[in-house]
Structure 1
Amino acid sequence: MTHHPAADATDWGGRLPRNETLDLDNDQQAAVGELHRRAARWAEHSGFAATDDRGGLIGPFNAFALRPGQGRGFNRWVANDQQNSSLSAPIREVVILTVGTAWDADYEIYAHVLVARSVGLSETVIEGIRTGSTDGFTAAERAAHRFVDELVRNHRVPDDVYAAAEAEFGRDGVLDMVHLTGMYLATSALLNAFEVPAPEIPPAP
């Protein structure tokens, strides 16, 4: 069961006002409803909290409510990627956690540790991404992590790392990794620019 953080435990908006405290226009109000019906339900299913214990949006979802056009566009990008990616769900989480760790994006790490657990990524790999060790990774997990880590931290991918990724995932898979990396670089930038906090990561079951 997802643990929802207490509404008054911290300022869950970070540098942004909580949408609940504002006089929202019609489009913003509609966006709040959409986020509760879609993003919050997906989060609940994946084991992480997109709301506090009073139902207020937290994480990037509060920001999406404040700027509905951008939020809807971003969430269409996410939905399209989820539906059409050639990458398995565990490999997608390797990519996302690698990006979040490189950017030290607390809420992204919190959410996707729990999503990773829900899709079967091992605790060894989850912890290894966060600590910089690839011991115990499969060849595919190692290839995905190395490719994305090089791209995010060094802004280039060496030939041998690229070749290993292409051997594991093919050209389409490498393209999908780059798109997914860009998506979560945008998320990390949003979270870090506004100092959006995250709940504590619960211990592994």
Structure 2
Amino acid sequence: MTMHPAADAKDWGGRLPRNESIDLDDDQRAAVSEIHERTARWAERSGFAPTDDAGGLIGPFNALALRPGQGRAFNGWVANDQRTSSLPKAIREVVILTVGVAWDADYEIYAHVAVGRAVGLSGTVIEGIRSGSTEGFGADELAAHRFTAELVRDHRVSDESYAAALESFGRDGVLDMVHLIGMYLATSALLNAFEVPAPEIPPAS
């Protein structure tokens, strides 16, 4: 069961106003409803909280509702990737968590630890990404992690890491990985620019 943080525990909007605290226009109100009906339901199924205990949007969802055009386009990009990516679900979470940890994006890490657990990513790999250890990683997990870490931190990928990713995932998989990295770089930037906080990560069950 997903635990929702208390609405009054902290300023869940960070530097942004909470959407329920300001007068929204019609498009913004529609965006809030769409996020509750679609994205928030996926978050709940995945085991992380998209709202506080009063139902107010938290994480990137509040920010996406405030700029509906950009928010819908971004959510469409993410939804298309979830439907069509050639990467296994667990490998996608290796990529996303590697980006989140590199950027120290608290909510991204919080959310995708939960998603990683839900899709069967091992606790060893999840904690290894967070701590900087690759002990116990499988070949595909290591290839995805190294490719992502190099691109995010060094802005380039070594020939060795590129070859390993190509062997593990093929050309389409490497293309899908770069798109996925871009999505979560954007998410990390949104979270960090506005100092958006995150609930505590629950212990593994």
Where do 5+ consecutive residues of structure 1 fail to align?
Answer: none
1:156 deviates by 0.3
Letter in 2 for 1:2: T
Letter in 2 for 1:15: R
Q: Supply the distance in 2 between the matched residues of 1:32 and 1:46 (Cα, whole angstroms).
A: 20
2:51 alignment partner in structure 1: 51
Letter in 2 for 1:16: L
1:27 alignment partner in structure 2: 27
Q: Supply the distance in 2 between the matched residues of 1:194 and 1:54 (Cα, whole angstroms).
A: 22
Q: Matched residue of 1:3: which SS?
A: coil
Q: Matched residue of 1:64: which SS?
A: helix
Q: Supply the distance in 1 between the matched residues of 2:52 and 2:124 (Cα, whole angstroms).
A: 29
1:112 alignment partner in structure 2: 112
> 2:75 matched to 1:75?
yes
2:159 alignment partner in structure 1: 159
Q: Supply the distance in 2 between the matched residues of 1:167 and 1:23 (Cα, whole angstroms).
A: 52
Q: How many residues align?
A: 205
User: Residue deviations 1:65-122, cap 9 Å, x none?
Assistant: 1000000000000011011100000000000000000000000000000000000000
Q: Matched residue of 1:179: which SS?
A: helix
> 2:143 matched to 1:143?
yes
Q: Supply the distance in 1 between the matched residues of 2:108 and 2:60 (Cα, whole angstroms).
A: 9
1:198 alignment partner in structure 2: 198
> 2:27 matched to 1:14?
no
Q: In percent, how many aligned pairs have the same letter?
A: 80
1:166 deviates by 0.3
2:90 alignment partner in structure 1: 90
Q: Supply the distance in 1 between the matched residues of 2:15 and 2:163 (Cα, whole angstroms).
A: 42
User: Residue deviations 1:22-53, cap 9 Å, x none?
Assistant: 11000000000000001110000000000000
Q: Supply the distance in 1 between the matched residues of 2:89 and 2:126 (Cα, whole angstroms).
A: 14
Where do 5+ consecutive residues of structure 2 fail to align?
Answer: none
1:131 deviates by 0.7
1:63 alignment partner in structure 2: 63
1:12 deviates by 0.1
> 2:168 matched to 1:168?
yes
1:183 alignment partner in structure 2: 183
Q: Matched residue of 1:198: which SS?
A: coil
Q: Supply the distance in 1 between the matched residues of 2:35 and 2:80 (Cα, whole angstroms).
A: 17
Q: Supply the distance in 2 between the matched residues of 1:178 and 1:141 (Cα, whole angstroms).
A: 15
